[in-house]
């Protein structure tokens, strides 16, 4: 049987190794967040070749990160790692939605359920941005399609009633999505009303001209 000193020496060595791994993983997590933001930017700008390459690199980095943390799996669930995974999920979901591809699953991305769910909810904010771009381009059918996706995500997310410790704050993000959804619905409604008014104006102009012609 090991002495107390030997036990503590082994514990110290293991914790030193875990701290070393943490220091290695921190910059990787920050890099995942930066690359995820860049992927979203590429998707909004329709820079598809660059976006596709960046998405591939991101998913490879997630796999490498998981392998690196095999000997310290609890670090995988550390807050800074889970936040980075959430950003990756958001970016990959935005990429899929804007390119009209099937939405990837948590298994497709190698990401756990909670960061995936929160990434999906945050992706709806980016979808609102895309909806406003579609409205400005007078592409109301695309705006309606994005609104329908936001609707579906919101009502499905409402069914998650687990504790925040399990969902990592999904309820708060669901509440925020409700406000985003209502503003987006209002924007699309106003766009349709503006279109109807624009279509009526030429007809009103013709009526006015005809009335003027009848005046003595």
pLDDT tens per residue across span 165-186? 999 999 999 999 999 999 999 9
Residues 6+ apart with CB under 8 A from 48: 42, 99
Q: Look at residue 193 and tell me whether its pLDDT is greater than 80.
A: yes
Q: Look at residue 213 and tell me whether its pLDDT is greater than 70.
A: no
Largest CA distance in the chain: 117
CA distances in angstroms from 209 to 61, 135, 200, 202, 216, listed in the order given:
67, 32, 14, 11, 13
Compute the average pLDDT of residues 42-68. 96
Higher pLDDT, 208 or 72: 72
Compute the average pLDDT of residues 24-38. 95
Q: Look at residue 216 and tell me whether its pLDDT is greater than 60.
A: no
Compute the distance between CA of residue 106 and CA of residue 117 in angstroms, rounded to an integer: 9
Q: What percent of the chain has pLDDT over 90?
A: 87
CA angle centred on 194, ends 190 and 197, rounded to 5°: 140
Which DSSP state fits 75? Answer: H
Helices 79-98 and 4-44 cross at an angle (nearest 10°) of 20
Q: Look at residue 142 and tell me whether its pLDDT is greater than 90.
A: yes
Contact between 69 and 12 under an 8 Å Cβ cutoff? The reply is no
Under the banding of pLDDT at 50, 70 and 90, the label for residue 214 is: very low
Compute the average pLDDT of residues 195-205. 71
Contact between 194 and 187 under an 8 Å Cβ cutoff? The reply is no
Q: What is the pLDDT of residue 138?
A: 93
Contact between 154 and 197 under an 8 Å Cβ cutoff? The reply is no
Compute the average pLDDT of residues 57-65. 95
> Tokens 């960046």 label which residue?
54
Q: Output helix, strand, coil percentages for the chain, rounded to the nearest 5.
A: 85, 0, 15
Under the banding of pLDDT at 50, 70 and 90, the label for residue 200 is: confident
Q: What is the pLDDT of residue 166?
A: 95
Compute the average pLDDT of residues 39-61. 97
Contact between 79 and 27 under an 8 Å Cβ cutoff? The reply is no
- All structural domains of the chain, each given as residue ranges with its CATH number in brackets, are 21-111 (1.20.58.2140), 112-216 (1.20.58.2140)
H helix and E strand count, the chain: 9, 0
Q: What is the pLDDT of residue 57?
A: 95
Contact between 76 and 106 under an 8 Å Cβ cutoff? The reply is no
* 44's tokens: 């909004």
Over its C-alpha atoms, the chain yields an Rg (Å, rounded) of 25
Compute the distance between CA of residue 30 and CA of residue 121 in angstroms, rounded to an integer: 21
* 36's tokens: 């995820």
Compute the average pLDDT of residues 47-58. 97
Q: What percent of the chain has pLDDT over 70?
A: 93
Compute the average pLDDT of residues 10-15. 95
Under the banding of pLDDT at 50, 70 and 90, the label for residue 207 is: very low
Q: What is the pLDDT of residue 203?
A: 54
Q: Look at residue 215 and tell me whether its pLDDT is greater than 90.
A: no
């Amino acid at each position: 049987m090991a002495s107390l000193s030997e036990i503590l020496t082994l514990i110290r060595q293991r914790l030193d190794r875990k701290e070393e791994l943490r220091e290695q993983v921190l910059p990787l997590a920050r890099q995942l967040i930066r690359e995820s933001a860049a992927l979203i930017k590429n998707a909004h700008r329709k820079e598809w070749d660059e976006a596709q390459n960046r998405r591939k690199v991101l998913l490879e980095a997630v796999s490498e990160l998981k392998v690196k943390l095999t000997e310290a799996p609890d670090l995988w669930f550390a807050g800074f790692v889970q936040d980075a995974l959430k950003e990756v999920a958001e970016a990959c979901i935005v990429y899929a939605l804007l390119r009209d591809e099937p939405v990837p699953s948590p298994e497709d991305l190698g990401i756990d359920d909670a960061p995936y769910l929160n990434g999906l909810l945050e992706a709806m904010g980016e979808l609102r941005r895309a909806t406003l771009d579609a409205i400005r381009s007078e592409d109301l059918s695309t705006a309606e399609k994005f609104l329908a996706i936001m609707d579906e995500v919101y009502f499905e997310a409402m069914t998650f009633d687990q504790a925040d410790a399990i969902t990592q704050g999904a309820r708060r993000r669901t509440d925020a999505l409700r406000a985003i959804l209502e503003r987006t619905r209002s924007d699309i409604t106003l766009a349709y009303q503006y279109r109807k008014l624009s279509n009526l104006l030429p007809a009103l102009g013709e009526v006015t001209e005809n009335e003027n012609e009848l005046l003595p």
